[in-house]
A and B are shown apart, each in its own frame.
Chain A
Amino acid sequence: MIHVENLSKTFTLHNQGGTVIPVMAGANLHVDPGECVGLVGRSGSGKSTLMRMIHGNYLPAGGSIRIAGVQMAGAEPRRVIALRRDTLGYVSQFLRVLPRVPTVEVVAEPLRALGVAQLDAQARAECLLWRLNIPRRLWSLSPTTFSGGEQQRVNIARGFVHPFPVLLLDEPTASLDAQNREVVLALILEAKARGAAILGIFHDEEARARVCDRLVDVTGFTPARPSGGQAA
Chain B
Amino acid sequence: MRDMTQPILSVTGLERRYGARIGCTDVGFDLYPGEVLGIVGESGSGKSTLLSCLAGHQGVDAGSVTYDGRDVLAMAETERRRLARTEWAYVHQHARDGLRMSVSAGANVGERLMATGHRHYGEIRAAAVDWLGRVEIAEDRIDDRPTAFSGGMQQRLQIARNLVTGPRLVFMDEPTGGLDVSVQARLLDLLRGLVRDMGLSVIIVTHDLAVVRLLADRLMVMKSGRVVEQGLTDQVLDDPQHAYTQLLVSSVLQV
- The answer on direct contact between A and B (beta carbons under 8 Å) is yes
Q: Which residues of A contact B (CB under 8 A)?
A: 11-15, 52, 56-59, 77-78, 80-81, 96, 98-101, 112-113
Q: Which secondary structure dominates where chain A touches chain B?
A: mixed
* Complex-state Cα separation, A13 to B247, whole angstroms: 10
B74 close to A (CB within 8 Å): no
Contact partner, A58, options B192, B218, B235, B246, Cβ 8 Å = B235
Q: Kindly list the 9 A-B residue pairs having the minimum CB-CB distance in the complex, ordered from nearest.
A: A14-B243, A57-B234, A99-B185, A77-B232, A58-B239, A57-B238, A77-B218, A57-B235, A100-B185
Establish whether residues A15 and B246, one from each chain, have CB atoms under 8 Å apart when the complex forms.
yes
Establish whether residues B235 and A56, one from each chain, have CB atoms under 8 Å apart when the complex forms.
yes
Establish whether residues A98 and B189, one from each chain, have CB atoms under 8 Å apart when the complex forms.
yes
* Complex-state Cα separation, A205 to B192, whole angstroms: 40
* Complex-state Cα separation, A130 to B53, whole angstroms: 50
Cross-chain pairs A/B with CB under 8 angstroms, 15 sampled: A14-B242, A14-B247, A15-B243, A57-B232, A57-B234, A57-B235, A59-B239, A59-B241, A77-B218, A77-B233, A78-B35, A78-B217, A99-B182, A100-B182, A112-B196
Distance (whole angstroms) from the CB of A172 to the closest CB of chain B = 19
* Complex-state Cα separation, A113 to B250, whole angstroms: 31
Contact partner, A13, options B32, B182, B196, B246, Cβ 8 Å = B246
B-side interface residues, number (CB < 8 Å): 26
CB closest residue in chain A, given B218? A77
Distance (whole angstroms) from the CB of A22 to the closest CB of chain B = 14
* Complex-state Cα separation, A40 to B211, whole angstroms: 35
Establish whether residues A57 and B239, one from each chain, have CB atoms under 8 Å apart when the complex forms.
yes
* Complex-state Cα separation, A115 to B208, whole angstroms: 29
Contacts of A101 in B (CB 8 A): 189
* Complex-state Cα separation, A184 to B98, whole angstroms: 49
B186 close to A (CB within 8 Å): yes
* Complex-state Cα separation, A101 to B243, whole angstroms: 35
* Complex-state Cα separation, A136 to B188, whole angstroms: 26
Known: A12-B241, A52-B239, A80-B232. 11 other contacts (CB 8 A): A13-B246, A14-B243, A57-B234, A59-B235, A77-B232, A77-B233, A78-B218, A81-B35, A96-B213, A98-B214, A100-B185
Contact partner, B188, options A13, A58, A98, Cβ 8 Å = A98
CB closest residue in chain B, given A81? B217
* Complex-state Cα separation, A96 to B85, whole angstroms: 36
- Binary flags per residue of B225-246, CB closer than 8 Å to A gives 1, else 0: 0000001111100110111001
Establish whether residues A113 and B214, one from each chain, have CB atoms under 8 Å apart when the complex forms.
no
Establish whether residues B189 and A59, one from each chain, have CB atoms under 8 Å apart when the complex forms.
no
Contact partner, B189, options A12, A14, A58, A100, Cβ 8 Å = A100
Distance (whole angstroms) from the CB of A143 to the closest CB of chain B = 13
Contacts of A100 in B (CB 8 A): 182, 185-186, 189
CB closest residue in chain A, given B192? A98
Establish whether residues A15 and B250, one from each chain, have CB atoms under 8 Å apart when the complex forms.
yes
Contacts of A13 in B (CB 8 A): 246
- A98-B239 CB under 8 A given contacts A14-B246, A15-B246: no
* Complex-state Cα separation, A185 to B254, whole angstroms: 33
- Binary flags per residue of B183-208, CB closer than 8 Å to A gives 1, else 0: 00110110010001000000000000
- Binary flags per residue of B25-42, CB closer than 8 Å to A gives 1, else 0: 000000010010000000
Establish whether residues A77 and B246, one from each chain, have CB atoms under 8 Å apart when the complex forms.
no
Distance (whole angstroms) from the CB of A9 to the closest CB of chain B = 9
* Complex-state Cα separation, A78 to B6, whole angstroms: 12
Contacts of A78 in B (CB 8 A): 32, 35, 217-218
Contact partner, A81, options B192, B232, B238, Cβ 8 Å = B232
* Complex-state Cα separation, A206 to B119, whole angstroms: 70
Establish whether residues B231 and A98, one from each chain, have CB atoms under 8 Å apart when the complex forms.
no
* Complex-state Cα separation, A77 to B229, whole angstroms: 13
Contacts of B192 in A (CB 8 A): 98
CB closest residue in chain B, given A102? B189
Contacts of A77 in B (CB 8 A): 217-218, 231-233, 235
